[in-house]
Amino acid sequence: MDKEFKSPVYNVIAVPIEKIRANEYNPNSVAPPEMKLLYDSIKEDGYTMPIVCYYHKEDDMYEIVDGFHRYSVMLKHKDIYDREHGMLPVSIIDKPIGERMASTIRHNRARGSHDLDLMSNIVRELVDMGKSNRWIMKHLGMDADEVIRLKQITGLAALFKDNEFSKSWEAK
């Protein structure tokens, strides 16, 4: 790894929540009891982890890569919004969309469960971007069978055009 690398968490900034938006691809879902627990945690302990965002210069907005539910707590709870003066701690990563999607999945998989349909859509989008099965496996922490199962859910034959996993038969 590059000796000059500095983790984004060392540059946390306070960003008005109005300048932050959700991404369109996060497959993570949290049940109401866990959302209540997250609210209680933020109420008692404050924000102990920053929201991870990508900064869009063209519209001066921050798009969430990780931390949607922490963001949601502030949106839904005036007491938290008021106490934090409408500001969220943000750590910025500067990566292209495919890499950001992979980052979101890595963050989520490290701590929770996923919505299967949304996960399969992400795999489809990554394939549409030209990402190989091996890239998806490496960057999303999946094995070959999981990638194939998620591709099957979308029902799109185009997702199977790359047969790098199966040498057992050939199309004639």
Q: What is the pLDDT of residues 64-87, one digit of tens each?
A: 988 999 999 999 999 999 999 999
Give the pLDDT of residue 14: 98
What digits encode the pLDDT tens for the residues 132-148? Answer: 888 888 777 778 888 88
Report yes or no on 138 lying in a domain. Answer: no
The dihedral formed by the CA atoms of 136, 138, 140 and 141, expressed in degrees to the nearest 10 = 130
Report yes or no on 170 lying in a domain. Answer: no
Report yes or no on 16 lying in a domain. Answer: yes
Write the CATH number for 72.
3.90.1530.10
Report yes or no on 45 lying in a domain. Answer: yes
Report yes or no on 43 lying in a domain. Answer: yes
Report yes or no on 76 lying in a domain. Answer: yes
- 49 DSSP assignment: S
Q: What is the pTM of this model?
A: 0.64
Report yes or no on 144 lying in a domain. Answer: no
Label the pairing between strands 61-66 and 87-92.
Answer: unpaired
Residues forming beta bridges with residue 55, ordered by sequence position:
62
Instruction: Write out the residue range of the structural domain in which residue 49 sits.
Output: 11-95
**What whole-number distance in Å separates Cα of residue 126 and Cα of residue 134?**
12
Report yes or no on 147 lying in a domain. Answer: no
Give the count of domains, the chain: 1
Other Cβ atoms less than 10 A from the Cβ of 136: the count is 24
Q: Which residues of the chain have pLDDT under 50?
A: 157, 159
